[in-house]
Structure 1
Amino acid sequence: MSTELELTSWRRAVAELYAGVRAADDPAAGHALWRAGRDALFREHPQSPLAPDDPLRTTGLPCAPYDPALRSVLELLPARDADARLELDGGDDAGTVLRPVGRVELPDPVGGSLDVWWLQQYGGGLFLPLRDGSSGRAVDGFSSYGGGRYLLDTAKGADLGGDDGHLVVDLNFAYHPSCRYDSRWLCPLAPAGNTVSAVVRAGEQMPLG
């Protein structure tokens, strides 16, 4: 199979996985489905960013237990700076420009504000990254990738749903970008407007020990 068809297969699988999450009877069941699906993709798919001998293929991706308090349906508020632009390095490919389309305010126990970006590319998509107090350091046995994690990336199928003017934001679904596993991947990292000081002890985490 060509690389292009492999990537199409990967994105199709991700989109189908999130469709299953949105259709689940309850968010915890959707989270269990998501974890199993992510593990299967990273273990078996030819586009997995894991090296063939990476132990995570056997153990699965480390992930915190589901916490229902970390799921919210949040209003998309006006952007802090609607004229801002963020240009991403695309390597050998053309770069991608992001523009802010709004922000969401995270409720307690996390708090803070996150910018919601729009990918200025064919088809577009919403992008919601997160860098929190666990990014790049261990706090009470929990650590996440220093470049941050993703909550939504609808251009690639990572979409938890919502309605007109609102987004489902569930911190339990925070996941590491592919560049965390393989430096050959180029991933947009969480900018300053997507940083919170609280430690988000949810979602995928770095192996410890």
Structure 2
Amino acid sequence: MTPDSSASDTAWLDLLDWRRQVGALYARVRELREHDPVAAHGLWQTERNRLFRDHAQSPLLPEARASFDALPVWPYDPALSFAAAIEPLPQERLTIPSSTGQDMPLVRFGRVTLPVGSLDVYWIDVYGGGVFVPFRDATSGTDSYGGGRYLLDTAKSADLGSTPAGDLVLDFNFAFHPSCFYDPRWSCPLAPPQNVLREPVRAGERAE
């Protein structure tokens, strides 16, 4: 997710601070989640609400902040938390659209198979990069954003880690909306057709 090119110098530094705080939050969440996933989920909600309410780089529009209380989130469901090995696939380069129409280059390098369906795993093929797992499901466009949600986005520090065996921790209870859901000035990659789950995933952030 990137802001428009007209951002001021201060805005860029504010964005740096946002990313630092998000990185620190996920470090705390990973540590707490090992022995108390529900408490980790509560911490995640509390801190995201604080950032959305108070931070200069909040994705919320100014008029939305005045009445903001908390981001809508489904209750924690342990049945939607998984650890999955990545099945290696032949690398495939592709370009997906962003919410503002810009192209986002990705490399599909693997796949995870979960009880709710299979999802391709991507590398965001720009400077710095990162592992990226977006998805859409049967709630998209009604109970959640039509462009999908993010399950893993290491470029933004949204990462729950791996098991000692090296499996990815993929917990849908921590799925979140991209910033463009709240403010169209943000440019966010949309979930590609390969990552559409047929069943509803009622976990993580939801629409009102």
Of structures 1 and 2, the one scoring higher in RCO (CA 8 A, sep 6+) is 2
Structure 2 alignment gaps of length 5 or more: 1-8
State TM-score, norm by structure 1: 0.87
Q: Provide the rounded CA distance (Å) in 1 between the counterparts of 2:67 and 2:122.
A: 32
Counterpart pick for 1:135 among 125, 128, 140: 140
1:54-69 alignment runs, 5 A limit: 54=64, 58-69=68-79
Partner of 2:131: 126
Alignment RMSD, CA only?
2.1
1:1-209 alignment runs, 5 A limit: 2-24=10-32, 25-54=35-64, 58-79=68-89, 82-88=91-97, 96-107=104-115, 111-137=116-142, 143-163=143-163, 165-207=166-208
Does the aligned pair in 2 maintain the 1:87–1:97 contact within 8 Å? Answer: yes
Q: Provide the rounded CA distance (Å) in 1 between the counterparts of 2:100 and 2:178.
A: 16
Query: 1:69 Cα shift?
Result: 1.1
Query: 1:58 Cα shift?
Result: 2.7
Query: 1:106 Cα shift?
Result: 1.3
Structure 1 pair 90–56 and aligned structure 2 pair: CA distance change class (3 A): same
Structure 1 pair 197–159 and aligned structure 2 pair: CA distance change class (3 A): same
Q: Provide the rounded CA distance (Å) in 1 between the counterparts of 2:107 and 2:98.
A: 15
Q: Provide the rounded CA distance (Å) in 1 between the counterparts of 2:69 and 2:99.
A: 31
Q: Which amino acid aligns with 1:197?
A: R
- Number of positions where the alignment pairs a residue of Structure 1 with one of Structure 2: 197
State TM-score, norm by structure 2: 0.88
Structure 1 alignment gaps of length 5 or more: 138-142
Structure 1 pair 196–159 and aligned structure 2 pair: CA distance change class (3 A): same
Q: Provide the rounded CA distance (Å) in 1 between the counterparts of 2:185 and 2:117.
A: 32
Q: Which amino acid aligns with 1:84?
A: R
Q: Which amino acid aligns with 2:93?
A: A
Identity %: 51
- 3-state SS in 2 of match to 1:43: helix
Does the aligned pair in 2 maintain the 1:145–1:180 contact within 8 Å? Answer: yes
